[in-house]
A and B are shown apart, each in its own frame.
Chain A
Amino acid sequence: MSEETTSSEDDITAIETPVYLTYNFTAGEATTRFLHQVRKGKVMGQRCPGCGNVYAPARGSCAACGLPTSEEVELGNKATVQSFTIVWIPIPNNPIQPPYIVANLVPDGANISFIHLMSECDNDSVHIGQRVEAVWKPEEEWDYAMDNIRYFRPLDEPDVPIEMIGKVPLSGWEGKA
């Protein structure tokens, strides 16, 4: 290689070395039970033997107490908005177009929120404490997946006061189960 060739070469500032690694995930015992139930259209939580709080979806432990959880608790189809954001970035392979609502929702009977979509709502009127219910996919499309619930939609029920969010029982809010 002549010196001239060397000096005229451009700096190499990038090379592409794609890394593909294949993993077979396992869900864990608690999540496996949860997914079996969600396949049947039920949302289950687990109660901590220490503090009594109900976790959903359960990971098999109460993170606060560090105790294994095993008692299964069926949760309501209704939930309360703990907080939310309006997202302006599209979700790949999802028909829901921005702006859409991603919310932290506490299902009735649970003491912790999970993240899910809200739809069939006026984005500007979504608010903390709002009551919502799950809208499921048609039963023939159910799989071992949280998105069997397509999204949550608002309910015509009174708001849950701030201090009661995360404490609504399975019997619902103000007797509306």
Chain B
Amino acid sequence: MKDIAIVSFAQSDCRRDAGACNEVELIMPVIEQAMQAVGLNNSQDVDFTCSGSCDYQQGAAFAFVMGVDALGAVPPIKESHVEMDAAWALYESMLKISMGQAESALIYGFGKSSPGELPTVLSQQLDPYYLAPLWVDSVSLAALQARVLLDRGLLSEQDMAAVVARSRANAKANNPHAQLAGDVSVEELLAESPWVAPLRKHDCCPISDGASAMVICTIEKARAWGKPYAVIRGIDHRMESHNIGARDLTRSVSTELAAAQAGVDRGPVEVAELYAPFSHQEIILSQALGLDDSTEINPSGGVLAGNLMMASGLSRIGEVATRIMSGDVRRGVAHATSGPCLQHNLVAVLEAA
């Protein structure tokens, strides 16, 4: 894949309930903001548009079709959609640019989880014959995973609480869009009672409504536009078995594979934004990516501070890109996930131009 430039990124606030806003009303402001940052008006000014969303979040078939109403798609545009996190819409767009059919692309993801019970909804993501009829929700599956890690002594409840405390503190310091932010100690967190044991409520990401958008282009085009940009130097994603009993839940093998292919270890990782919906998963992912104390992890607070499902993965990439574009860091890693217990993972390596 060619090196591709990220030239702008915008995200909405993470809100527990966006209330009256419909999909179009959620999407339009972030698209406008991302486009205007590079002096563009609407989808007519890019060569390709791709989005990520999930019908079942809103409970309406074809939720993404409404999204097209926000684009100004007259005359018609080259457009596609993945029923996945928008990080994979970015991946599809990069293929399009790499094959030479586009020089620029608009990517957006949106999710309105508030109308339904998200963990219960996600139970219907499981094998429809064996697992879905049991209504095992996404939090319970993550709790099974955390239990394996704790009982094998691979991490402690203190480690998990420390992840949460850092997330809240980082969100307070750096992230005006966060839903959960503030100063809270490990002791205070551990004093809370378990929710879905061994997980406490704070170990789980909140449920948020919102959207995010990004503009990418060829390096040549980014130079021509004359704006700061971050370069996607490597990107890869890998799937694992759906059979949780067949996986080693203490590792993320697919993240390890994707990291190797994306070239995470080809330079220092100054910052990493990881899509870890549960505190223990951040530790699994850090290990899979080979990160140590030299890397600042989730300076935005990550998704424990706010989780725009179907946009959160794209937002992780956007968070790293923003820090590179501002000149704060020169190299970082972003990660996106999908499926129960980190079944599917995407890793991107971003660098300064």
A127 CA / B21 CA spacing, docked (Å): 38
Nearest Cβ in chain A — how far from B235, in angstroms?
28
Cross-chain contact B74 with A23 (CB below 8 angstroms): no
Per the bound structure, the CA–CA distance linking A32 and B18 in Å amounts to 14
A30 close to B (CB within 8 Å)? yes
Which residue of A19, A28, A30, A66 is within 8 Å of B124 (Cβ)? A19
Given A15-B129, A21-B121, A23-B59, check contact A61 B115 (CB 8 Å). Answer: no
Enumerate chain B residues within 8 angstroms of A29, measured Cβ to Cβ.
20-22, 25
Which of B117-158 touch A at CB < 8 Å? 117, 120-121, 124, 128-129, 132-133
Q: Do A60 and B22 touch (CB < 8 A)? A: yes
By CB atoms of chain B within 10 A, which of A24, A60, A63, A66 has the most? A66
Docked Cα-Cα span, A31 to B28, in Å, equals: 16
Residues of B within 8 A of A28 (CB): 20-25
B64 at interface, CB cutoff 8 A: no
- Chain A CB count within 10 A is highest, among B25, B68, B117, for B25
B73 within 8 A of A: yes
C-alpha spacing A25/B63, complex, angstroms: 13
Contacts of B72 in A (CB 8 A): 64-67
The answer to whether B117 touches A63 (Cβ under 8 A) is no
| Interchain CB contact under 8 A, B42 and A31 | no
Within 8 A of A (CB), among B76-131: 114-117, 120-121, 124, 128-129
Does any Cβ of A come within 8 Å of B43's Cβ?
Answer: yes
A80-B332 Cα distance, complex, nearest whole Å? 59
Count CB-based A-B contacts (< 8 Å). Answer: 82
Q: Bound complex: CA of A26 vs CA of B116, how far in Å? A: 11
CA distance A61 to B22 in the complex (A): 11
- Is B267 positioned at the interface, with any CB of A under 8 Å from its CB? no
Say how far A60's CB is from chain B's closest CB, in angstroms. 5
Identify which of residues 8-52 in chain A touch chain B, using a CB-to-CB cut-off of 8 Å.
Answer: 15, 17, 19, 21-32
A68 within 8 A of B: yes
State whether the Cβ of A78 lies closer than 8 Å to any Cβ in chain B.
no
Please pick, from A24, A59, A60, A66, the residue contacting B43 in the complex, using a CB distance under 8 A.
A66
Q: Return the chain B residue nearest A18 by Cβ.
A: B133
Contact (Cβ within 8 A) B120 A59: no
Q: Which residues of B contact A31 (CB under 8 A)?
A: 22
B226 beta carbon closer than 8 Å to chain A: no
A68 and B69 CA atoms in complex are apart in Å by 10
Is B19 an interface position by the 8 A CB rule? yes
Which of chain B's residues have a CB closer than 8 A to the CB of A22? 116-117
Contacts of A21 in B (CB 8 A): 56, 59, 116-117, 120-121, 124
Closest A residue to B75 by beta carbon equals A64
Residues in A with CB closer than 8 Å to B28 are 61, 66, 68
The distance from the CB of B30 to the nearest CB of chain A, in whole angstroms, is 13
B75 CB → nearest A CB, Å: 9
How would residues 16 to 40 of chain B score, 1 for a CB under 8 Å from any chain A CB and 0 otherwise? 0001111111001001000000000
B286 lies within 8 A of chain A by Cβ: no
**Structural contact, B19 and A26, CB atoms closer than 8 A:** yes
Do B22 and A27 have beta carbons less than 8 Å apart? Answer: yes
A136 to B: closest C-beta gap in Å: 26
Task: Tell me, yes or no, whether B338 is within 8 Å of chain A by CB.
Answer: no
Query: Are A65 and B74 neighbours in the complex by a CB distance under 8 Å?
Result: yes
Residues of A within 8 A of B68 (CB): 63
Q: Would you call B70 an interface residue if the criterion is a C-beta within 8 Å of the partner chain's C-beta atoms?
A: yes
Q: Which residue of B lies closest to A29 (CB)?
A: B20
**Contact call B22/A66, Cβ cutoff below 8 A:** no
Q: With CB as the reference atom, state the residue of chain A lying closest to B133.
A: A17
**Residues of B close to A67: CB separation below 8 A:** 72
B54 to chain A, nearest CB (A): 13
* Selected A-B contacts with CB under 8 Å, 18 pairs: A21-B117, A21-B120, A23-B116, A28-B22, A29-B20, A29-B21, A29-B25, A30-B22, A59-B24, A59-B69, A60-B24, A63-B69, A63-B74, A65-B72, A66-B43, A66-B69, A66-B70, A68-B28
Chain A residues within CB distance 8 Å of chain B: 15, 17, 19, 21-32, 59-61, 63-68
Query: Measuring CB to CB, which residues of chain B are less than 8 angstroms from any residue of chain A?
Result: 19-25, 28, 31, 42-43, 56, 58-59, 66, 68-74, 114-117, 120-121, 124, 128-129, 132-133
